[in-house]
Structure 1
Amino acid sequence: MKRLFHTLFITLLFTFAVNCSYANSEPLVITDIGAIEGVSEHGVEHFYGIPYAKAPVHDLRFAPTVAADPFADTFKADSFCPVVPQSSFIVKRKGFRTGDNSLCLNIYRPKNAKKGDKLPVFVWIHGGAYMMGASNNPYYDGTAFAKDGVILVSINYRLHALGFYSSKYTYKKYGTTGNWGHLDMIEALKWVRNYIESFGGDPDKVTIGGESAGSMAVSSLVLSPLAKGLFKRAVLESGTILSYPFVSLYKSENSKSAFTNSAAIATLFGADDSESGLEALRTIDPLLLSYNCGYDFDMVKNTFSFFKPYFDGVVLPQDPYKELQQKKKEEVSNPKDNIEILIGYNTDEGSLFTDNLNVLELKTAIKNTFGESKVQSIAALYLKDKEPTDSAFKEASSYNADIMFNLGMKIFADAMSKNHKVYMYHFDYAPFEYKKSHKGVSHSSEIAYVFSTLPEGAQKDMKKVSDNMHQRFVNFIKTGDPNFNGKSMTPIRWPLYNERSPKVYKIDKLPYVENFKLKDRLDKLEELLYSDYDNE
C-alpha cells in the first residue's frame, strides 16, 4: 500500500510540475524556417525582432533585399532588434539602439492563437520622411489590436541613403535603383505570406498600413507590380506617392532630385557613379551617411538634399500620376486585384512643417516650386486680402498640407474609387490646449488614437475618440468595411468615397459624416499643377 501511495504521489507531483512548466512557458511557434519563441505580456503574445532579411552589409548594401536564412536553433524573439542606423532623435530614447541587423519584424497576436485560426493580419509601416523611425516606437505597440483579434506585424526597413540611394550603375547592375527600402517592405510581406499562418494568421487577409512616409509607402505598394497579391486591404494615414517633397508630384522632378541628391552624397565621400564608387560608398559608416542626408527642406527656396524613392518603372511606376489616371479607365477583372482602401487626413497637416512666413515669402515659395506663371493662380487659393508683409502662417500651413499630403490623397482616392472600395476619414480631434495652439490637429497626432496607445491619465474625451477610431480600423482590417465587425453594424454609417460623391467620416468627440471640405480647392490645385502635364 505504501508503495502504491508513493507511486501516486510521484505521479501527481510530476503532473503538477509539467502543468506548471507548461503554464509558465513562453509561446513557441514552429515554422518552416525553424522554431520561434516569444513572450507573453499584457494578456497577448509578442514575438520581437524576427529577421525577415539578411543584414544589408557589404555586397547587400545599396542592393535588392535577400531573405533571411532559416534558424539553426530556436529563435528567441524576446527583444526588439536594432533600429536602422539613423541620426534622428529616436536613437537617443531609452531602449533604442542602431545596428546592421535591423531588417526584422515584430508580431503581436491574441493569447493562445494557433495555426488554423485564420486571424486577420495588419502589417504596419512606420513613418519618418523615409529617413528616420522604427517599428519599436511605443506608439506602435500592437497589444490593443491583438486583444481585438488582429495579428499586428510591425517592420523595419532601410532609410535615407541606405534605403533610397539612386545611381545609374546600380540600375544597370540590379535592374532597379533608389527603392531598397521599398524592396525591404516587399520582402517582409513575402515573409508574412509564407509564415504568418503558423502564428494563427490568414495570409489571404493581410492589410498593410502606415502613416506619413509609411502611408506614402503603402500607396507605392498598391501601385507596385512586385507587391501584387501580397495584401488585400490598405490603410493610408496622411501621405501618398504624390507627396512633395518627400516623394514627387512630377516624373521629371523625381528623376532629377533622386539622382542629383544621390550624386551629391557620393561626391561628398569621394565616390562616383561606377563599380568602384559603389564599393567605396559601401564602406562608409551608415551613421555618417545618415548625418549627411537629414531633413533639410527650405520651403521658400524649394531646396533639399535628402533622399526620396525613385520612379524606376520596376518597383514603382515611372509616372505615378499617369498611372492613377489610367486606373480611372480600367476595369478590375480579377477579384484578387480589388484592394479595399481606408485613407484620411488630419485638419492641420501642414503646421509642423511651416515657419511663420509672410505673404511675400509664401508667394516666393510657390514661384520657386511651380514657376512664375502659376504663382498668382495658386496663391489665390490660399491668400485673401493681405499685404506682402502680413503674416501668412495659417495660409502657408494650408498650402504645405495640400502639397505634402492632401492633394496626393485626393488624387489617389479619386482614382482608386473608380474600381475599388475607398473609405475616407478626416481626423479633427485634439485636446483643447492643443487645438487652440498654432499646431492644431497636427500631422501624426492620430496615431495614438488608432493604436490605443494614449498616455496614462488621458482625458475621457481622448479615450472616447480612441475607442471609436481604433474600432473602426479593426472593423476595416477584419471585414473591409469600417462599419461592420463581422457580427453587427456600427450606429453611424461611414459611406464609401467616390469622386462624384466625396463623403468623409469626421472623427471628433461627436463623429459624423461630412462632405469632403477640401475637395473644391484640391480639384482647382490639381488642374493648375497638371493641366499642361502631358507637355512636361
Structure 2
Amino acid sequence: MRKAMLMSAALMAIAAPAVWAGPKVQVDAGTIEGVSAAGIDRYLGIPYAAPPVGELRWRAPQSPAPWSGTLEARQYGPDCVQMDMDSPPGPGFVNPESEDCLYLNVWAPENAANKKLPVMVWIYGGAFIMGASSYPSYDGTAFAKQDVIVVSMNYRVGRFGFFAHPELSVPGEATGNFGLMDQIAALKWVQANIAAFGGDASNVTIFGESAGASSVNFLMASPAAKGLFHKAIAQSGGTNAYVKPLDKAHADAVAWGEKVGAKSAEDLRKLPAATVLGAPVIAPETVIADGQIVAKSTPEAYLAGEIADIPYLVGANDYEESLIKWLPGAEKKLIESLGPKGEAVVKLYMADGTSREVAEKRVWGEYAMTLPARWRAEQSAKSAGKVWLYRFSYVPETLRATTLGAGHENEIEMVFDIRNSRTARHDWTAADLKMASSMNRYWANFAKTGNPNGDSLPQWPAYTVKSRTLMHFGKDGIAPVKDFAKARLDALEAATAK
C-alpha cells in the first residue's frame, strides 16, 4: 500500500482557525507564521534548503530562496519520495510525497522567544529508504510542555538520498550521502535560527530511532557535523558496521545508469522520479564512505577515537526480531554464517526451555540491536564518556494478550508521550500514561543537562566499565539492572566477533 496514507487527519486536527493565534518568527530566509494551541507554538513545513529538484537533484542541499511577506508554516511539507509502506503510521493519516521535501518543523512553548531553552532535533527511521517528519508519533508537544524545543526534518531517502555516480561530482561539494547532508543542513539551520524561537544553539541534542539512530551515530563520527550538536540519543540504531566503499558505489551507480539509459549528469537528473524510485537502495548497503561526510563505519570510528565525546544515551527493545517480517530468513542466514559457534549460541538461548524457532529469532534481534547498543555504551564508558544504556520491554496493557514483546520502534510513542486520539493505535491505561510520562521526562532531562535523572524519577545509573548497569523499562516498572543477559550476550559477541 502506498505511503500516501499520511496527513489529512493531522491537518484536520491542527488546522481549525479557532486555535490559530498566528505566532510569527523571523528566520534567515523571511518571516513565518505558525499555529498556537494549548500553550504550544507549532511551525510546520519551514523550508531549510532549496528544493532538490532539476539541477539540484543529487546535489548537496543549497540555501532556500528568501521570501517576501509572511510564509504560513501551518502544515507539514511533503514527505520525500520513497518506497511503499506496509501500513500507515497512524489512523487515517495522509501526506503527499514530492522530491521537493526539504522542510522542517518546530515545537516551542508560547512566549519563549527571549529564553534559551534546550533543543532536541529528531531524525526519523525507515532503513534510509522511507520515513517522514509528518508522522503523528513524532509530535513534539509533550517535550515543548517541558520547556524543550523540538525540531524535526525531512531528509532524502532511497536512491534520491544515497547515490554516488562519478558524473554527479561537483568540485568542493561532498557527494553520495545526500540524506546525511540534509540532516547536517538542518542542524546548521538550527544553529542559525533556533534562538528566534527561544532555543539555545549551544545546547542541542540529536535523537533518532533505527536509521535515525544510525544517522545519530554517523553524525557523531562525521567531521562535517562537528560542533552542530552537544548530546546524542540512539534508539535501536544497529551496528552501522558496514559502509559502501566509494569505488563500489560509483560502479553500482554507473551500472544502474546504463541500465536506465542515463550516463551523464544531465541524463540522470532528467530521469522521472518513478524511474529513480523503481530501483530502491537497500539497507545496509546505503551509507557511502565518501571521505567527507562519512569516512568509515561507526565501530571503526569508535575504535579510532574519532567519535564525538558528548553525553550519549543508547538502547534497544526486547523484541527487535519483529523486523524479521521484512527480512524473512535473516535469523537462519546469521546462524548458518557463524557455523558451530552459531549453533552453540542458539542452544544457550534455548537453555531456559525456549523453542528453537523463538531462540533463533531472539539471537538475530539481539545481534542486530541489543548487542550493538551494549557495545557502544561500553566503548563510550572506556573513553570516560557520559553514557546511559537502556532496554525497553514495555507493552501497552491492552496489547499484551496479542503482542510478543516491545518491537522495533515501539518505544517511540512513549518517548514522545503520544496519547491523543489523532494518533492512538491502542487505548491508553493509567500504567501506559505513567510509563510514557516517565520516558518523556528522562529524555527531556537528558536534553537539558546531559543526564536523564531528575523530577523524582527512579535513579538511572550511568553505564561504566565497572557497573555495566542499564535501565529497564518493563511492564513491572522502571528499574536498573546490572549485567543484563551477560552470559548470552557475551557468547553472542564472541561468536560474531570478526
Confirm or deny that 1:504 pairs with 2:470: yes
Confirm or deny that 1:312 pairs with 2:290: yes
Q: Do the aligned residues in 1 keep the contact of 2:22 with 2:33 (CA within 8 Å)? A: yes
Confirm or deny that 1:177 pairs with 2:168: no
Residue 87 of structure 1 corresponds to: 83
SS of the residue aligned with 2:296? coil
Q: In the TM superposition, what is the alpha-carbon distance from 1:31 to its structure 2 partner? A: 3.0
Q: Distance in 1 between matches of 2:359 and 2:169?
A: 41
SS of the residue aligned with 1:206? strand
Q: In the TM superposition, what is the alpha-carbon distance from 1:80 to its structure 2 partner? A: 1.0
State the number of aligned residues: 467
Residue deviations 1:192-211 (CA, integer Å, cap 9, x gap): 00000011110011111101
Q: Do the aligned residues in 2 keep the contact of 1:61 with 1:282 (CA within 8 Å)? A: yes
Residue deviations 1:150-195 (CA, integer Å, cap 9, x gap): 1110100000000011234445756643311000000000000000
Q: In the TM superposition, what is the alpha-carbon distance from 1:250 to its structure 2 partner? A: 4.2
Q: Do the aligned residues in 2 keep the contact of 1:176 with 1:312 (CA within 8 Å)? A: yes
Residue deviations 1:455-504 (CA, integer Å, cap 9, x gap): 544112111111111111111111111113xxxx5342101112342110
| Residue type at the aligned position of 1:492 | P
Residue deviations 1:193-242 (CA, integer Å, cap 9, x gap): 000001111001111110111011011111111111111111111104x2
Q: In the TM superposition, what is the alpha-carbon distance from 1:53 to its structure 2 partner? A: 0.5
SS of the residue aligned with 1:342? strand
Q: Do the aligned residues in 2 keep the contact of 1:125 with 1:211 (CA within 8 Å)? A: yes
| Residue type at the aligned position of 2:468 | P
262 and 442 in structure 1: CA distance in 2 versus 1, 3 angstrom threshold: farther
Residue 460 of structure 1 corresponds to: 430
Q: Do the aligned residues in 1 keep the contact of 2:348 with 2:488 (CA within 8 Å)? A: no
| Residue type at the aligned position of 2:391 | H
| Residue type at the aligned position of 2:344 | A
Confirm or deny that 1:61 pairs with 2:24: no
355 and 71 in structure 1: CA distance in 2 versus 1, 3 angstrom threshold: closer
Q: Do the aligned residues in 2 keep the contact of 1:109 with 1:151 (CA within 8 Å)? A: yes
Q: In the TM superposition, what is the alpha-carbon distance from 1:324 to its structure 2 partner? A: 0.8
Q: Do the aligned residues in 2 keep the contact of 1:161 with 1:307 (CA within 8 Å)? A: no
Residue 102 of structure 2 corresponds to: 103
Q: Do the aligned residues in 2 keep the contact of 1:165 with 1:307 (CA within 8 Å)? A: no
Residue 341 of structure 2 corresponds to: 377
Residue 216 of structure 2 corresponds to: 218
TM-score, normalised with respect to structure 1: 0.80
Of residues 250, 259, 262 in structure 2, which corresponds to 1:271? Answer: 262
Q: Do the aligned residues in 2 keep the contact of 1:160 with 1:307 (CA within 8 Å)? A: no
Q: In the TM superposition, what is the alpha-carbon distance from 1:383 to its structure 2 partner? A: 3.4
Residue 362 of structure 2 corresponds to: 398
Of residues 461, 481, 496 in structure 2, which corresponds to 1:514? Answer: 481
Q: Do the aligned residues in 1 keep the contact of 2:349 with 2:359 (CA within 8 Å)? A: no
SS of the residue aligned with 1:149? coil
Of residues 347, 357, 372 in structure 1, which corresponds to 2:318? Answer: 347
SS of the residue aligned with 1:204? strand
152 and 326 in structure 1: CA distance in 2 versus 1, 3 angstrom threshold: same
**Structure 2 unaligned spans of 5+:** 1-18, 422-426
Of residues 49, 67, 72 in structure 2, which corresponds to 1:71? Answer: 67
Q: In the TM superposition, what is the alpha-carbon distance from 1:308 to its structure 2 partner? A: 0.6
Residue deviations 1:384-419 (CA, integer Å, cap 9, x gap): 598xxx974322322322343223222222222223
Residue 228 of structure 1 corresponds to: 226
Q: Distance in 2 between matches of 1:24 and 1:312?
A: 45
Q: In the TM superposition, what is the alpha-carbon distance from 1:355 to its structure 2 partner? A: 7.9
Confirm or deny that 1:419 pairs with 2:410: no
Q: Distance in 2 between matches of 1:239 and 1:161?
A: 21
Residue 25 of structure 2 corresponds to: 29
Confirm or deny that 1:323 pairs with 2:323: no
Q: Do the aligned residues in 2 keep the contact of 1:178 with 1:308 (CA within 8 Å)? A: no
Residue 129 of structure 1 corresponds to: 127
| Residue type at the aligned position of 1:443 | H
Q: In the TM superposition, what is the alpha-carbon distance from 1:270 to its structure 2 partner? A: 2.4
Q: In the TM superposition, what is the alpha-carbon distance from 1:63 to its structure 2 partner? A: 1.8
SS of the residue aligned with 1:402? helix
| Residue type at the aligned position of 1:513 | P
Q: Distance in 1 between matches of 2:297 and 2:323?
A: 29
Q: RMSD of the TM alignment (CA)? A: 2.9
1:108-257 correspondence runs (5 A): 108-114=107-113, 116-170=114-168, 176-240=174-238, 242-243=239-240, 249-250=241-242
Q: Do the aligned residues in 2 keep the contact of 1:356 with 1:392 (CA within 8 Å)? A: no
Q: In the TM superposition, what is the alpha-carbon distance from 1:96 to its structure 2 partner? A: 0.4
Of residues 48, 65, 70 in structure 1, which corresponds to 2:44? Answer: 48
Determine which structure has the larger strand proportion and give its number.
2
Q: Which has the larger radius of gyration?
A: 1
506 and 260 in structure 1: CA distance in 2 versus 1, 3 angstrom threshold: farther
| Residue type at the aligned position of 1:43 | G
Q: Distance in 2 between matches of 1:405 and 1:258?
A: 26
Q: In the TM superposition, what is the alpha-carbon distance from 1:453 to its structure 2 partner? A: 0.9
SS of the residue aligned with 2:439? helix
The percentage of aligned residue pairs carrying the same residue is 33
| Residue type at the aligned position of 1:271 | A
| Residue type at the aligned position of 2:105 | N
Q: Do the aligned residues in 2 keep the contact of 1:119 with 1:150 (CA within 8 Å)? A: yes
Confirm or deny that 1:450 pairs with 2:449: no
Q: In the TM superposition, what is the alpha-carbon distance from 1:377 to its structure 2 partner? A: 0.9
505 and 105 in structure 1: CA distance in 2 versus 1, 3 angstrom threshold: same
287 and 74 in structure 1: CA distance in 2 versus 1, 3 angstrom threshold: same
237 and 73 in structure 1: CA distance in 2 versus 1, 3 angstrom threshold: same
| Residue type at the aligned position of 1:100 | E
Q: Distance in 1 between matches of 2:465 and 2:62?
A: 40
Q: Do the aligned residues in 1 keep the contact of 2:469 with 2:480 (CA within 8 Å)? A: yes
Q: In the TM superposition, what is the alpha-carbon distance from 1:339 to its structure 2 partner? A: 1.0
Q: Distance in 2 between matches of 1:383 and 1:437?
A: 27
58 and 356 in structure 1: CA distance in 2 versus 1, 3 angstrom threshold: closer
**Structure 1 unaligned spans of 5+:** 1-22, 244-248, 296-303, 532-536
SS of the residue aligned with 1:350? helix
Q: Distance in 2 between matches of 1:62 and 1:411?
A: 34
Q: Distance in 1 between matches of 2:158 and 2:285?
A: 6
Q: Distance in 2 between matches of 1:100 and 1:357?
A: 31
Q: Distance in 2 between matches of 1:227 and 1:378?
A: 38
Q: Distance in 2 between matches of 1:82 and 1:157?
A: 11
Residue deviations 1:39-88 (CA, integer Å, cap 9, x gap): 11243111010000011112221121112122222211111111101232
Q: In the TM superposition, what is the alpha-carbon distance from 1:259 to its structure 2 partner? A: 5.2
Q: Do the aligned residues in 1 keep the contact of 2:118 with 2:447 (CA within 8 Å)? A: yes
Residue 13 of structure 1 corresponds to: none
SS of the residue aligned with 1:448? helix
